Chains A and B, each alone.
Chain A
Amino acid sequence: MTTPRRFAAAFLLCGAIVVAASARQQAPAEQPPAGEPVPASQTAPNARSPRNANYEIDARLDDDAKSIKGRETIRWRNITDQSTSELQLHLYWNAWRDQESTWLRERRMAGLFRPPPADAWSSMDVTALRLRDSSGDMRDATKEMRFIAPDDGNARDTTVMSVPLGRSVAPNQEVEIELEWTARIPRPFARTGWVGDYYFIAQWFPKLGVLESQGWNTHQFHAATEFYSDFGVYDVRLTLPRRFVVGASGQQTARTDNADGTTTHRYQGEDIHDFAWTASPSFVDLSKRFESPTLPPVVIRLLLQSERRGQADRYFAIISATLQRYGEWFGAYPYPNLTVVDPAFQSDSDGMEYPTLVTGRSRWLTPDSSQTPEGTTAHEVGHQWWYGIVATNEFEHAWMDEGINTYATARVLEEAKNPNRVESRYFGGFIPWSFRDIPFTRVDNDRLAGYRLNAESDAPWTPTFQYWPSTAAIISYNKTALWLHTLEQRLGWPTMQKILSIYFERWKFKHPKPADFFDVVREVTGQGHYWFFDEVYRSSNTFDYGVQEFRSERLDDKTFTTTVVVRRYGEATFPVGVVTTFDDGQHVKETWNGQERRAVYVYQRSAKGATVQVDPGHVLLLDVAYTNNSRTLSPRGQQASLKWSLKWMVWLQDLMLTYGFFV
């Protein structure tokens, strides 16, 4: 070859190399298939939450074996100021692996457990775990996993797993792990499982605990608690037989029919901390758009059981009412969609909340005047604010979600559910009867009746996982709702609304603690109310004020001496008003600080005393015996007892006649 030709060849070769290198650099990154959305960025500028726990999950349901096989990639960022050299994960379904889990030990101890059939149990097994190390390679750490029991040392409990990272992860550093797992789906256990061809699947994947400044907050699964986890972006692909209608957290972004008769549903959710899903071929799939001039629109998807098709309007009405009121009172619902599931009979999946997905509760037969399904549905939708967005630690402070939500739900139902009547059910619970004369009031929805029965069972500031299991809900739900309602009565609704809206806006996506809530109360009201929170939060004492004595005697022709003795029967204290009325229509109002054991008031007036009431406005809703708060010198107890005993007599006569069948 001549020199010019060699030069030309070399030039062409170099040019080809340059072009090839350039082309390689400029080649676009691997694009998703056409039509599929790009996963949300975990550090997008519009992120509402820290998005430090992000999950990509690929899972397949085996309908015949009732199992799930999954693979997930978790990208986690340390947002605390402390380093860590381990990860801790929840494997919740191992709570129903056998009777020796902490969950079941506690249920058995509280007498709440009946051994299920053999096919009811579940399990969750991590079959592979890989960590991306500092060099960027994935390292197999499967053999390094170990179970821990940080709460009670129960070696048989396998609901918390620790994975050593082999290095220290400093603040703001990231870790990526891949897991493969299999899980056996239980017959319904604590709102999760299958019945017939209906699935409700929650807490179904290995989920990270929460790293806090003091260390990992990864409690074992307890009978009295729910869950706690960090926010992130979820990108989940679920593959199921094609016949299933699927609902899930987040929004559906793709659906692919596969050659093997399955369909892969892709759901994505941003700024959520959990992911649940449901599937049934029998769902009636309805949608409605919630619109309001002051709030962003929300697409409501209702997955209804076909036998309850007639209740669709009731469901949509209460969902919209809750979105409207919670939005106006506390802050706008930030997600574009909400899925509400009407659970299947015997699925035990009713009345539960997950990010952007909740389950209601209804029956085949339900009178229009009863609050089935409205009561539970409003409550679960309301959870989107306290559980879903504010996201407090339900292992330790369940009251901050359940109690605040119960209080707010009661207010929604008072406004939006009318008429609302007491209901009883007969014939195995299938036949309802609504009592037209007995309204179900806001205080009933605050659950005063249940609180009264177990008022002293635990002090609310005890970590929830240490509550006695059979009465835990009474403290978290009932007592909290009642003291919040009491606070509202004392401060007024506008102040209460301000407290809750500031608390919501300030602490959304941030996992606040009790002190954060109390600080907002102090900030808004200008007072600490420590005396109040000492009684209702840091104590299990009960409130009971009453009238010990009330008499009015003629002193002379023109004067009566009226003596009022009011007493604090309970150990908890609260300032109360005492109002005494007289025959001439006049009344005297005293304010008693409620601290001493009793207070005595003596009046000398021209009119005889008529009535006396302690806390006449029923401000203190935690008073376990309000009947003794009043007395009258013209009692109607005889009339009232006669009336009701006559009604009871008719019931007894009817019962006698019913048994008369046998003779």
Chain B
Amino acid sequence: MTRGLYAALALQLIVFAAWGGRLLTSHRDVAIVWLATEPVDPRDLLSGNYVALRYEIARTHCDRGAGADEASPTPVWVQLVPNGDQVPTAEAMATLSSAIHCRLTPPDLDGGAPWIMGRIEPRTDRITFGIERMFVGEDNPLRTATSGSVIAKVAINDTFEPRLLGLITIRKEDVP
């Protein structure tokens, strides 16, 4: 029985070490894009404090394909290009990106415009990318931020997996 418990502990450690290792390394030195967000009502659920985000690129039209099961999520890949809209940030002028194309199969890595992986949610046309929440600390001024008043800095790795790196609050006069 003790061996079983040690095996369970070892399994937990392996899972969290492997997962942590992957998360620490999967988005090093990868493409960065800036994405505009759309207004969403702020909320504070039991799970903690986070900024709920919705992206303009989530409205990209993407056909599920003939015979697709609408009850299950459909994986999609969306191509992004800079749209020319610039927003001042602490680092530099950030050029926002927009979606120009969507496909149902993984694209090739050709070094061109970045692709971002998402999924069409069941029974909707909306795409989610796994970057819809930005967790913030207790003292972080972003705690009161809302979607639509921020732009998102997103890293996309070689497997087209996005990760939210940060949010920049934009002034009304800077909104493109």
Partners in one complex: no
